[in-house]
Structure 1
């Protein structure tokens, strides 16, 4: 019996398989992966998400056609945004700690390899004495050179591996900070707002391809479809509230500003994702930026005010040039 389980916390897990039973071929074909730390097969990117019933159903069909009996235990319950983010922060911290420990082991291995290389070099004749062809020392001399060459390569490989492990550890250590940067927080707020608008279109009904001969009215969702949409709405509203609270805290701490059309205007400079831009126009929800201010060529990129992390007024820019 193969069992496919899904929870919001763990994701989609496949249990009951055995090495060599033929399930690996089916699972790989459907892009499932083996998790060494579980150990079990799992669906990538299924954690902190609702069950992907389409992909699960396809897998069940394929396994049954291959002669396996499959049971499903799918939990559609979702956790709060605060719980999800706390778990992600903890996983990031655990990963950073594990990678740092790995980096330390790699550095120790590199030091050992370098010491062995020095030992091999010390065994070579002083002054770079050439090999004496036909002398009784010839074979020993050649072996010493080969050993020194091999151990130098091992030392270089070990040092390269240590540097790579250190680099990955540093990236992992900064993962949470990047996730909670003001720019990323603003992006998550915008994403949640888009999802909420999309769900309300499903709940209220909408017109597709409006203004074209193919326009048609899509009625408001009813029955199970409406219930599902309402559950999605509650989830997205929870995410929106969470990230709005984070942004409010960042504004209070001075990590970003509370920008709007009221305090940003044409000719000002704004910092978006680490780059400064000159403002061509302040719109109700976004700013139009100059790609080339001298020629007054505007960019198609129009960030929302929440993505602005710094600001200089036109007066401040003029004063700085004096």
Structure 2
């Protein structure tokens, strides 16, 4: 029997499978991926197929349902087990370290592939060059001579070997690119801008879960006047009794025959969401500590609203300065225009639109800011960029 299991610790895995058991073509079509590094289950046996990005997350039931249906249609016995509530024993810090170790292994493996492919291609091309040097310069194929067919075949063979060599070289370049990407994985994932965006996304997920746990607001008829709902003739209290425990009426408007009802979250869904909040909170704490370490150890600046005022200049990765027009909670509105490519300092006074009128403003998140200059220094260093009528 095959077991499709999902837990927060292991993610979604198909137990009872291996590489050559014949289930691969079926399972692969449903979105599962192969891996030889999956841990064996003490009861269900080995595993070879999994769903990516499902550890510490709720089960992707569409993947599981498709896989189970496909395997059953093929005559296999399937059991599905889903546990979205039991917290994993592996901490997020351990999981993150495992990611970095796998990236290092990929980098080493891909580098070996790249070196082997490049060396094989280079040897093939050099051998073809040596063979061609044996032919006198400008020697044509002697049409009608007894050697004509042989020389044509030899030239075709040399061309084919050369193309195979070039393909090995190209394959080596592709492996090299993948190796470089694997080497950059940890630095890219830990970059301060990337980390700040990740924290914002995780916090948004936590807020969404909190809103879900608060319940869903609905407006019901106090007395149902049509039979289209399937609950015609059932009282308001009886309808509430069919909903999850904790659902209740917030207000009644008998004149409009409308009840404002809060639908509570069921016990199972609540337990699953609370588990997700716990895991997401752990991730946020980990990445906040990482940002704090970058600030303390490397002196990196984490910009916020309190660091800027209207009229300051900022840079965002290049040499050009932009004037701040407005300071927002999460972004800065900066001056911009079609002529900004010709300007070293872009202000609301020299930025122009395509029609020659004033320019516009663009929003830049704080994590894109790389340098700052206060308004007084900006007007001292770049007086030509500001209007004489500037009230600032």
Place the TM-score, normalised by the shorter chain, in its bin: 0.7 to 0.9
Secondary structure, aligned partner of 1:84: helix
- Alignment match, 2:51: 43
Q: CA deviation at 1:127?
A: 1.9
Aligned mates of 1:252, 1:91 — CA distance in 2: 28
- CA 1:276–1:225: 2 relative to 1, 3 Å: farther
Secondary structure, aligned partner of 1:257: coil
- Alignment match, 2:233: none
- Alignment match, 2:105: 94
Which range is displaced more, 58-67 or 13-22? 13-22
Aligned mates of 2:9, 2:172 — CA distance in 1: 33
Secondary structure, aligned partner of 2:3: strand
Which range is displaced more, 251-260 or 111-120? 251-260
Matched, 1:253 2:297: yes
Q: Is the Cα–Cα contact under 8 Å of residues 310 and 324 in structure 2 kept in the other structure? A: yes
Unpaired runs of 5+ in structure 2? 39-46, 220-257, 338-347, 352-357, 384-392
Q: CA deviation at 1:116?
A: 1.8
Matched, 1:161 2:171: yes
Q: CA deviation at 1:307?
A: 5.0
Aligned mates of 1:253, 1:196 — CA distance in 2: 29
Deviations 1:48-94 (A, max 9, x none): 53432343244334433543211235454334321221111111111
Matched, 1:174 2:235: no
Which range is displaced more, 95-104 or 138-147? 138-147
Which range is displaced more, 59-68 or 87-96? 59-68
Deviations 1:205-258 (A, max 9, x none): 46589xxxx996644535233222221211111111111111111222345313
- Alignment match, 2:132: 121
TM-score, length-normalised on structure 2?
0.69
Task: Please tell me whether Structure 1 or Structure 2 has the larger radius of gyration of its CA atoms.
Answer: 2
Aligned mates of 2:74, 2:107 — CA distance in 1: 41
- CA 1:6–1:277: 2 relative to 1, 3 Å: farther
Matched, 1:110 2:121: yes
Which range is displaced more, 158-167 or 289-298? 289-298
Q: Is the Cα–Cα contact under 8 Å of residues 31 and 63 in structure 2 kept in the other structure? A: no
Secondary structure, aligned partner of 1:311: strand
Aligned mates of 1:244, 1:19 — CA distance in 2: 40
- CA 1:286–1:139: 2 relative to 1, 3 Å: closer
- Compute the RMSD of aligned alpha carbons: 3.3
Q: CA deviation at 1:8?
A: 4.3
Which of the residues 260, 282, 285 maps onto 1:238?
A: 282
- Alignment match, 1:289: 334
Which range is displaced more, 241-250 or 21-30? 21-30
Q: Is the Cα–Cα contact under 8 Å of residues 185 and 247 in structure 1 kept in the other structure? A: yes
Q: CA deviation at 1:19?
A: 8.7
Which range is displaced more, 310-319 or 246-255? 310-319
- Alignment match, 1:225: 269
Matched, 1:183 2:227: no
Q: CA deviation at 1:18?
A: 7.8
Aligned mates of 2:282, 2:169 — CA distance in 1: 47
Q: How many residues align?
A: 315
Q: Is the Cα–Cα contact under 8 Å of residues 19 and 48 in structure 2 kept in the other structure? A: no
TM-score, length-normalised on structure 1?
0.82
Deviations 1:16-63 (A, max 9, x none): 358998855653443234447767233233345343234324433443
Which range is displaced more, 97-106 or 259-268? 259-268
Which range is displaced more, 152-161 or 229-238? 152-161
Which of the residues 76, 80, 101 maps onto 1:72?
A: 80
- CA 1:16–1:31: 2 relative to 1, 3 Å: same
Aligned mates of 1:272, 1:186 — CA distance in 2: 16
